[in-house]
Structure 1
Amino acid sequence: MLVEKKHYKLQGFTTSNGQFIPEVEVGWESWGKLNAQRDNAILVTHYFSGASHAAGRYQEDDLLAGYWDSIIGPGKPLDTDKYFIISSDTLVNQEPFNPRVITTGPATINPATGKPWGLDFPVVTIRDFVEVQRSLLLSLGIEALYAVIGPSMGSLQALEWSIAYPEAVKRMISVIGMGEADAWSCLGLQQWAEPILNDPLWCEGNYYNGASPVAGVQQTLMQISLAAMSPTIINRTFKKHYPLEEAPAKAIRQNFRMVDYFKAQSLAQTKYADANHLLYLIRANQLFIAGQGKTLTEGLQKIQAKCLFLPATNDLLLRPALAKKIHQALLSLGKRSFYAEIEGDWGHLDGLNSITSQAETLSQFINQD
């Protein structure tokens, strides 16, 4: 499938904490056709380092398709012959300098000053991501969703959708997700922020007219990549000790090959990433509790949608127990909830790389009442 990036502009947006953003812009992509009743829309909400490019290619010769191309398309679980699949870039997207990402955040020009917002940009939440998506959908005449589905940070948005607009969501699918950022998760996310905060070039977020804190961003991206992978896949890919590498054994300044590999991969990612955007994304995830209320149960009580939870068995970042907690809570509240695990060796990344192992589960859940 070929797909194009489209542009949506929202004039005047008030965040969940009451702060005002004069203008919000996000990019979006879609697959399939919206029917005359406008009731066949499935929203795909993307993960932390992702964007709206969930399927297809921009050009025929693109090397890689969108991250969920294996389940989006004709005859696939998210069947584009039946459904209108849509996805949008989030607020404070990780890559504001990517020409194929359209987002609003700290790197955006503040119309009041003519300079980048920097840390004057309001703190935003997962609920704010949902509200911008809601505005986009309403602009297309879509008032209700046949389903909403997302992996990782996208699962947070999907769950929030089912609570913020319970009567507008028929099905909710959480892939490698959680219902709230508990203390452990919050502290883990903070470890991603620290390299940026401690980079002297970060300058309290005021670096847009000077050198960017590339080293801090690189280290943050390394931590994110490592957290998303399982020990099994790391150990299979990189054999550290046998035979012993000569360079790190002789000089402390020399790295293991696997370290150089991760550093190179993360450095390449810094081309489009922004330090402040990463900090705002981290904070949005740290602040998350489904429903934005005082307790998780308070939020879950509002759900009317049929729910499916698909954690990855070997995920160490968002452990299956986090998804199982929500599933069991919904059952205790008398809600309709289903649970299955994605098997694989990738860890958290099984939610992207091994999703087809649950293709039949997805198809049945989406197509049956």
Structure 2
Amino acid sequence: MIQRRGLLAAVAILASLPLLPAAAQEVVEKKVFEAGEFRTRGGATIPNTRIGYQTMGKLNAAGDNAVLICHFFSGNSHAFGRLSAGGPAGYWDAIIGPGKAIDTEKYFVVSADTLVNVNVPDASTVTTGPASINPDTGRPYGMTFPVIAMRDFVEVQKKLLDSLGVKRLALVAGPSNGGLQTIEWAAAYPDFVERAMPVIAAEIDAWMQGWLDIWEAPIRLDPNWREGDYYGQGREPPLKGLAEAWKIVTLHARDRLWAKQYDRKLPEGQDPARKIGDRFAIEKWLDDAAAARARTSDANSFLYMVRANQLFLNDYPSLAAAMEGAAKRWLVIPSPTDRVFVLDGAREFIEVLRKAGKQVDTAEVTGPLGHLNGVVGMAPLADRIRAFLGA
């Protein structure tokens, strides 16, 4: 998320990102892909599947100069350019565009909204999920929507790329949830993917599945959630529970160094040493950021996005088995202060790739934001990314 729109992103996740630096970005058009009937990995059929997407650059005659950018947990397709003149830049605009590390004068870059995208209230997001209308009932699906796995994100994106004439991806990349999609792509379509660049992402193991359960728990505890049946007229959405969920995500995605700005500070008129109901500065900031994020997202979609992450590489018996036949060339970029995908997990993932015989380069994305460094701090890695694409 970008603060100009009242958010972060993120893993990311994420919630309340700082503003990106101003620069001259191209205005890009948000388009809609009508994917039609789609069969999920779980065996359910979704009619009239739709996702939004944006592109920059031109596909060559061979169809092999395409780059796919996958978005983080709370993001959408807006990875580069501006959706309107004077609007905010995409989250990876520092590395995508004419003459940049992912050069749109050379590459045809595509970024798409996922299924079950959390940003349903945002007019610039197009997705199919629990808030969509079930044609059999004329009402929103709610929790009757089929379970979506990470692989389902990939399969709908593959249909999009096929419709655009893409024959091969020179690169698939993304941060956090987008990094997980990148890994899933490399496992599912190794001959289609020439290079993979997962950023701030590693395996979703049982420990991370447990964290994802903690992320979503406040939604289920909100009485307004009603087992997902809150779309009806006169019913209030579970904004309190959703805000608490975003609060967990927001703090989890940031590092202690970022939080030091709130050390020993109190909001005006607050004294927690005297009144148990008074707040510390960090608490008030988290409350305000999370409440704003809740108003721009959908609680049921949050739950479905969590489950998609928990079902990462669900088609394979292990991470090692998935990577054995995966794409060959990798640039893996962790953040050393990441509290979501911790550095030890990233190192273990890199070791799995190397044991599988992959060509693995590594770099680190640094800064005060922990996990979110991989969303907003990529500019210093431009030369590394450019070299990886040229290798």
SS of the residue corresponding to residue 173 of structure 2 reads strand
Between the aligned partners of 1:260 and 1:242, the Cα distance in structure 2 is 9
Q: Match for residue 364 of structure 1? A: 387
Query: 1:325 is matched with which residue?
Result: 348
How many angstroms apart in 1 are the aligned matches of 2:347 and 2:48? 38
Q: From 262, 266, 278, give the equivalent of 2:290.
A: 266
Q: How many angstroms apart in 2 are the aligned matches of 1:89 and 1:243?
A: 38
Provide the rounded CA distance (Å) in 1 between the counterparts of 2:49 and 2:351. Answer: 37
Q: Read off the aligned partner of 1:46 and give its amino acid letter.
A: H
Partner of 2:237: 212
Kept after mapping to 2: 8 A contact 1:41/1:84:
yes
Runs of 4+ displaced beyond 6 Å: 242-245
Map of 1:118-137 to 2, 5 A cutoff?
118-137=142-161
Structure 2: unaligned runs, 5 residues or longer: 1-25
Give the Cα–Cα distance (whole angstroms) in 2 for the partners of residues 201 and 271 of structure 1: 14
Q: Is the 8 A contact 1:327 1:338 kept in 2?
A: no
Partner of residue 114, structure 1: 138
Structure 1: tracts of 5 or more residues without a match = none
Letter in 2 for 1:181: I
Q: Distance in 2 between matches of 1:130 and 1:243?
A: 45
Aligned partner of 2:303 in structure 1 is 279
Instruction: Name the Cα RMSD after superposition.
Output: 1.5
Which of 26, 29, 46 in structure 1 is aligned with 2:51?
26
Q: What corresponds to 2:17 in structure 1?
A: none
Q: Matched residue of 2:271: which SS? A: helix
1:43 maps to which residue?
Answer: 68
1:243, 1:164 → 2: CA distance? 50
Partner amino acid for 2:41? S
Contact 1:145 1:170 (8 Å CA) reproduced = yes
Structure 1 residue corresponding to 2:376, chosen from 344, 353, 361: 353
- Match of 1:247? 271
Q: Does the CA-based 8 Å contact 1:229-1:349 persist in structure 2?
A: yes
- The one-letter code of the counterpart of 1:39 is D
Q: In structure 1, the residue corresponding to 2:169 is in which secondary structure?
A: coil
Question: Which residue of 1 is the match for residue 199 of structure 2?
Answer: 175
Deviations 1:54-110 (A, max 9, x none): 011122221x20000100111111111110110000000011111000000000000
Tell me the residue number matched to 1:198.
221
- Are 2:228 and 2:300, in contact at CA under 8 Å, matched by a contact in 1? yes
Task: Tell me: CA distance 1:112–1:244, structure 2 relative to 1, closer, same or farther (3 Å).
Answer: closer
Q: For each residue in 1:276-305, what CA deviation from the matched residue of structure 2 results, as whole angstroms up to 9, or x when unmatched? A: 00000011111213x621111111011133
Match among 316, 334, 338 for residue 293 of structure 1: 316
CA distance in 2, matches of 1:342, 1:176: 8
Q: How do 1:137-176 and structure 2 match up within 5 A?
A: 137-176=161-200
**TM-score using structure 2 length:** 0.90
Matched, 1:14 2:39: yes
2:122 corresponds to which residue?
Answer: 98
> 3-state SS of the aligned residue for 1:26?
strand
CA contact (8 A) 1:245 1:256 kept: no
Contact 2:53 2:111 in 1 (8 A): yes
Q: Give the match for residue 221 of structure 1.
A: 246
Contact 2:73–2:178 under 8 Å retained in 1: yes
- How much does 1:258 deviate? 2.4
Contact 1:176–1:320 (CA under 8 A) maintained in structure 2 = no
Equivalent residue number for residue 11 of structure 2: none
Aligned identity (percent) is 40
Given that residues 171 and 195 in structure 2 are in contact (C-alpha distance below 8 angstroms), is that contact kept between their aligned partners in structure 1? yes
